[in-house]
Amino acid sequence: MLKIKKLTVHYGPLPALKEISLEIERGEVIALIGPNRAGKTTLLLTLSGILETTEGRIYFEEEDITNLNPHQIVSKGLIHIPQGRHIFPTLSVLDNLLLGGYTKRKEKGVMEEGLEKVYHLFPKLSERKDQRAGTLSGGEQQMLAIGRALMGRPKLLMLDEPSLGLAPRFIEEIFATLKKMNQNGLTLFIVEQEIHLTLSISHRGYLLKNGRLIKEGPASALLESPEIKDLVGI
């Protein structure tokens, strides 16, 4: 579904990513893990079209999407939930969700169907649909960010630190929901500091350090690898 070939990205003269190559198959959950400033967020921003590549190519469903505009990438079904959620705090929950489906607004019945699915997945959002999004709890805002992304009918959903700033009970709930979404057919690419929890719901994982991929493999094998144990301080 997604193929990255020798991707290099610079911030000014400094390389942030160096010859990154990875693949994601349809129906997988893939974890991208690594220390702070490894380049994880940079990779997602590049896949989303927010940052430009210096070298290398990005293919989504066998189509070259390298350096397309973000709205073009979203319309193809590659959707990114950024770190920190970035909801619209002064708008209602419902309006946030409707904005998520903007690229699909002209397709008959898509918005209504999307809202039904989001409210089924997150009943709290239905209860609070007329509430200003900025008054929601952190966990509810993360639900809203996921729901908003789902309104765009993603084929591959990228999440950057979905547990950031959440209470433990919300973290467990969010990850249980992500697992359920994958079981329903959605492909996921997750950047996360909660390494054990992320790998526990993933099929495979990649370890990024200093802008380079240094290890990849099945999630269960990565959990036992010396590199991961060193990263989490075991």
For 170-192, write each residue's pLDDT tens digit.
899 999 999 999 999 999 999 99
Are 54 and 10 within 8 A, CB to CB? yes
Q: Is the pTM of this model over 0.85?
A: yes
Coil, strand or helix at 199: helix
Q: Which of 41, 79, 56, 68 is nearest to 9 (CA)?
A: 56
Q: Which of 46, 83, 25, 56 is nearest to 218 (CA)?
A: 25
**Does the pLDDT value for residue 232 go beyond 70?**
no
**Does the pLDDT value for residue 233 go beyond 80?**
no
Q: Which of 146, 110, 153 is nearest to 125 (CA)?
A: 146
What domains appear along the chain, each with residue ranges and CATH number? 2-77+154-231 (3.40.50.300), 86-147 (no CATH)
Q: Report, as an integer, the average pLDDT of 80-104.
A: 93
Task: State the Cα angle at 26 between 25 and 28, rounded to 5°.
Answer: 70
Share of the chain above pLDDT 70, in %: 99
- 107 or 50, higher pLDDT: 50
Tokens 């699909």 map to which residue?
Answer: 104
Coil, strand or helix at 84: coil
Q: Report, as an integer, the average pLDDT of 197-205.
A: 95
For 127-148, write each residue's pLDDT tens digit.
999 999 999 999 999 999 999 9
* Distance from C-alpha of 179 to C-alpha of 188, rounded to nearest angstrom: 9
Q: Give CA separation, 3 vs 6, 20, 21, 47, 157, in Å.
A: 10, 10, 7, 10, 15
What ranges in 28-183 are assigned the alpha helix state H? 40-47, 70-75, 93-100, 110-121, 123-127, 138-150, 168-183
Q: What is the pLDDT of residue 43?
A: 97
CA quadruple 177, 179, 182, 186: dihedral positive or negative? positive
